[in-house]
Amino acid sequence: MKIAIVGSGAIGCYYGARLLQAGNDVRFLMRSDLETVRSQGLRIMSPAGNAHLHNLPAYATTGEIGPVDLVFIALKSTANDALPALVPPLLGPDTAILTLQNGLGNEEFLGSHFGHQRILGGLGFVCITRTAPGVIEHYGHGSIVLGEARGPGTPRAENIVATFLAAHIQCRLAHDMVWEHWRKLVWNIPFNGLSIAAGKATVEDLLASPVLRREVEELMLEVITAAGALAHPIDQSVVPFEIERSLIMGPYRPSSLVDYERGLPVEVEAIWGEPLRQALDAGIQVPRLSLLHALLTRLTTPPTLT
């Protein structure tokens, strides 16, 4: 499969490298790390196996890459405005677009620009970060769930799942990607948000504090309530499951916190704003999510110069 990675940060480089090692024709769109990767290669440090890839097919523009079978989007949702210009050179008649972005609304955005029939949604469950130019640290997890953005699974989606599995990436086919997005928000909304709002707190910090741990649990329950009202029912038993799963992460810094510390845009609207709006439109009161969204908006909005 010929694949273009649009967004060659930690997630794009990690999954792209695994697909490349499995024999796929993978091409990476890179900006800031381009010269480093061309001269020194790409390093992946991972419990699943370290890798140092030389002569990586890295490009400065999508025009150099040309049409592919699959466009794999791993950009932050804050960069979506760039996609209408980046994606068209990669498209052939049957090119599929798979977005591995957090939050809600990304598939709809892509479908409005490139046709809903092209779009698949995906979610990565992985602890990973870029520690230096051309260096990716993978700490654990790594599974992907993907499916058609609209409707149940298809042979096309099954073929993409098989491609990931052949690259030793745990992957499963989803039959309702909207439900999958809400299910992931059960973790992302509290941990990514409170890590910033609570003063650069790690997952370990949040769970060590009885007050913050309770806030995590209450936010999870609000997300579950909102999802249920929108016909995406999630059992409340996922709350203790997610707490226990998070305990083993230790001092892990969620991706939104990493972006915030680096002065990069935080995906406030995709992860907190859009779920909040959908909940309120459905008549569901989510006071903790409302407060967290307001705090994050204030903390991440650059000061206005006067």
Least confident range from 31-35, 123-127, 175-179, 238-242: namely 123-127
Q: Quick: pLDDT tens for 227-261.
A: 999 999 999 999 999 999 999 889 989 989 999 99
Tell me yes or no: is domain 2-175 CATH 3.40.50.720.
yes
Between strands 2-6 and 51-53, the pairing is unpaired
Q: Which residues pair with 136 in a beta bridge?
A: 44, 130
Q: Which of 151, 286, 189, 188 is nearest to 228 (CA)?
A: 286
What is the pLDDT averaged over residues 193-206? 97
Q: Quick: pLDDT tens for 93-150.
A: 999 999 999 999 999 999 999 999 999 999 998 888 888 999 999 887 789 999 999 8
Q: Are the C-beta atoms of residues 7 and 74 closer than 8 Å to each other?
A: yes
Q: What is the pLDDT of residue 36?
A: 95
Q: What is the pLDDT of residue 304?
A: 65
Spatial distance between the Cα atoms of 288 and 279, rounded to a whole number of angstroms: 12
Q: Which residue has the tokens 């700490």?
A: 139
DSSP 3-state assignment of 253? coil
What is the pLDDT averaged over residues 149-164? 91
- Please give the class, per CATH, of domain 179-300: mainly alpha
Q: What is the pLDDT of residue 151?
A: 79
Please identify every residue annotated as catalytic.
Answer: 184
Angle between helices 274-281 and 210-229 (to 10 degrees): 60
What is the pLDDT averaged over residues 62-71? 98
- In the chain, what are the domain boundaries? 2-175, 179-300
Write the CB contacts of 218 (distance below 8 Å, at least 6 apart in sequence). Answer: 288
Between strands 119-132 and 135-148, the pairing is antiparallel
What is the pLDDT averaged over residues 50-62? 95
DSSP 3-state assignment of 125? strand
Q: What is the pLDDT of residue 152?
A: 81
Residue type, 146: L
For residue 306, pLDDT over 70 is answered with no
For residue 29, pLDDT over 60 is answered with yes
* pTM of this structure: 0.89
Percent of the chain having pLDDT more than 90? 87
DSSP 3-state assignment of 93? coil
Q: What is the pLDDT of residue 305?
A: 60
Instruction: List, as one string, the DSSP characters of 146-185.
Output: EEESSSS--HHHHHHHHHHHHTT--EEE-S-HHHHHHHHH
